[in-house]
Amino acid sequence: DAKTTQPNSMESNEEEPVHLPCNHSTISGTDYIHWYRQLPSQGPEYVIHGLTSNVNNRMASLAIAEDRKSSTLILHRATLRDAAVYYCILRDYGSGTYKYIFGTGTRLKVLA
Amino acid sequence: NAGVTQTPKFRVLKTGQSMTLLCAQDMNHEYMYWYRQDPGMGLRLIHYSVGEGTTAKGEVPDGYNVSRLKKQNFLLGLESAAPSQTSVYFCALRAQGETQYFGPGTRLLVL
């Protein structure tokens, strides 16, 4: 079962910031929080990941709560090309390797 | 897609037919994965490999077999296709830092 909880859908206006929340109350101390997004008719693509501290890259920022039970992906200025399904993922360790357990994600709609 | 290719892009099968999906990488990564994605759902792990000659079961392995005879290629086989296997199949490889790179997908329709 997915170890994360996300809203099914969100909307944003173009050029405005977007905050995509994720709850992961069962996270363990060594679990990284990963975010991927999936554009229509494409495979998922990596966005960002982090452990404890907030993280920034050219695509987005990741804000992690102090207790690590929730996180927020921040797109600073949404564009129409950011319309996608965003997945917040934790690793699941078993049989000697880490695996990702995908939930249903958040479908982001960007309004022009 | 970071050098991950999938063949074919689209296929229609009749129930009971067999086929093999090919995932190829032009890098040297050890870990490779096969996922399926049903409409409106997230991805589910079918099988994975941690290196040449190794394979292991994921969440939904029934009805599929895999092989990793060469490091660059990870094959997913359906011996006797069923309508329930209609899905989009994604291959992925794991790069440094656990980032996964996904292929473009194979759309499979089983009639």
The reported pLDDT for the residue numbered A53 is: 86
Task: Residue B46: name the closest of B31, B36, B54 by CA.
Answer: B36
Closest alpha carbon to A100 in B75, B1, B86, B46: B46
- If you measure CA to CA, which chain B residue comes closest to A39? B104
Determine phi and psi for A59, rounding to 5 degrees.
-90, -40
Best mutation target among B36, B98, B101, B107 (most A Cβ atoms within 10 Å) is: B98
Give the distance, in angstroms, between the CA of residue A21 and the centroid of all CA atoms in the same chain: 8
* Nearest CA among B49, B82, B79, B80 for reference residue B67: B49
Instruction: Quick: pLDDT tens for B11-63.
Output: 999 999 999 999 999 988 999 999 999 988 889 999 999 999 999 998 899 99
Percent of chain A with pLDDT over 90: 69
Mean pLDDT over A47-75 rounds to 93
For residue A4, the one-letter residue type is T
Q: Nearest CA to CA, how far is A102 from chain B (Å)? A: 5
Q: Collapsing DSSP states into helix, strand and coil, what is residue A90?
A: strand
Rounded to a whole number of angstroms, the distance from the CA of B16 to the nearest CA of chain A is 27
